[in-house]
Amino acid sequence: MQFDQLLQFIISGITSGSIYALIALGFTLIYNSTQVINLAQGEFVVYGGLIAVSLYAGAGLPLFAAVLLSIIIVTLIGVVFERLAIRPLINHSIMTLIIVTVGASILFKNIAMIIWGRDPLTIPAFSGDDPIMFFGASIIPQSIWVFGITMVTVVLLQLFYKKTITGKAMKACSINQTAAKLMGINSSSIVLLSFALSAAFGAIAGVLIAPISMVSYSMGGFLGLKGFAGAVLGGLGNPIGAVVGGILLGILESLSIGFIASGYKDAVAFLILLLVLFLRPSGILGARIKEKV
């Protein structure tokens, strides 16, 4: 294997991995406020992309305006979803809430099918399609956007959790709602905030990948799966873990295309994920929680 080929595999891996990472961050946010895995996370991504397509190609807005507006609209969708479906159940079991997100993903997905049809759609790349060469390997500018924004978000998110009291309050809500209330934390608005942010992150991922991988109504499940896998691999609840996990997953896939067989790439990636979990049951960077008895 030549160096530039290997490098290209790694870059390919980082390209899809950053997408997984960005989606994994969305999972992290909601997990950190409710311990719920939001199985509709992929739908936020899809809506981000599709709404941007409509605003850009349909309504004729400038690209960046369309992108921005799309993120705002999806954030609102996240807010409405939280108020209508999550809030009434916040004191119930996590499994119940997860099934609500299953319901939401089915609902969102099929509404998208009715609105946008079955064919995939796309928007232009933010800064052109001309690849950038890097030691014989090539990258498209959009991938750099994805990677860059993922990095910026993870830094901001990490600061949010480590440095701000709101970030800590968010975690507090997921650990013990009653105790959070007793601290004077308005858990209702904190959870709402996490859904809003998570929807926004999803939408950001959606608008970023629309030019690379196109968007279609049915992609949500797949993207959600990859994001979830990335989040778990890195250690649930840890933003850095989410990014490490997501990117690692992407690289694993692409290396198994390079060295094993492309048909087995997901199998290899999941196999390694399982091995990692069996050795580190809380993911790569996840904390092992032990309660005193």
Find the binding residues for other proteins in span 110-169 (CB under 8 A). Answer: 110-111, 113-114, 118-122, 129, 131, 138-140, 165, 168-169
| Closest separation in Å from C-beta 262 to other proteins | 4
Residue whose CB is less far from other proteins, 72 or 129? 129
Q: What are phi and psi of 83, to 5 degrees?
A: -65, -45
Sole window of 65-73, 149-157, 179-187, 192-200 interacting with other proteins (rule: CB under 8 A): 179-187
Are the CB atoms for 33 and 202 separated by under 8 Å?
A: no
Residue whose CB is less far from other proteins, 72 or 282? 282
In the set 103, 128, 148, 159, which binds other proteins (CB under 8 A)?
103
Site for other proteins in 261-280 (CB under 8 A): 262-267, 270-271, 273-274, 277-278
Q: What are phi and psi of 38, to 5 degrees?
A: -85, 100
CA distances from 50 to 41, 109, 116, 136, 214 (A): 15, 11, 7, 34, 9
For the four alpha carbons of 152, 153, 159 and 164, in that order, the dihedral sign comes to: positive
Beta strands 137-139 and 132-134 are antiparallel
Residue whose CB is less far from other proteins, 72 or 135? 135
Site for other proteins in 2-31 (CB under 8 A): 2, 5, 8-9, 11-13, 15-16, 19, 31
Site for other proteins in 58-77 (CB under 8 A): none
**DSSP secondary structure of 208-246:** HHHHHH-B-GGGHHHHHHHHHHHHHHH-TT-HHHHHHHH
Using CA atoms, how far apart are residues 155 and 178, in angstroms rounded to an integer? 30
In the set 63, 68, 69, 107, which binds other proteins (CB under 8 A)?
107
Using CA atoms, how far apart are residues 234 and 137, in angstroms rounded to an integer? 27
In the set 72, 102, 152, 156, which binds other proteins (CB under 8 A)?
102
| Closest separation in Å from C-beta 209 to other proteins | 6
Using CA atoms, how far apart are residues 95 and 293, in angstroms rounded to an integer? 25
| Closest separation in Å from C-beta 270 to other proteins | 4
Interaction of residue 258 with other proteins, rule CB under 8 A: yes
In the set 105, 150, 194, 198, which binds other proteins (CB under 8 A)?
105
Using CA atoms, how far apart are residues 191 and 173, in angstroms rounded to an integer? 8
Tokens of 179: 């105790």
Site for other proteins in 184-213 (CB under 8 A): 184-187, 209, 212-213
Q: What is the dihedral of CA 15, 16, 22, 27, to 10 degrees?
A: -160
Residue whose CB is less far from other proteins, 72 or 99? 99
Residue whose CB is less far from other proteins, 76 or 84? 84
Residue whose CB is less far from other proteins, 72 or 92? 92
Residue whose CB is less far from other proteins, 122 or 194? 122
Q: Kindly provide the residue ranges of all beta strands, DSSP E only, lying in 130-284, ordered along the sequence.
A: 132-134, 137-139
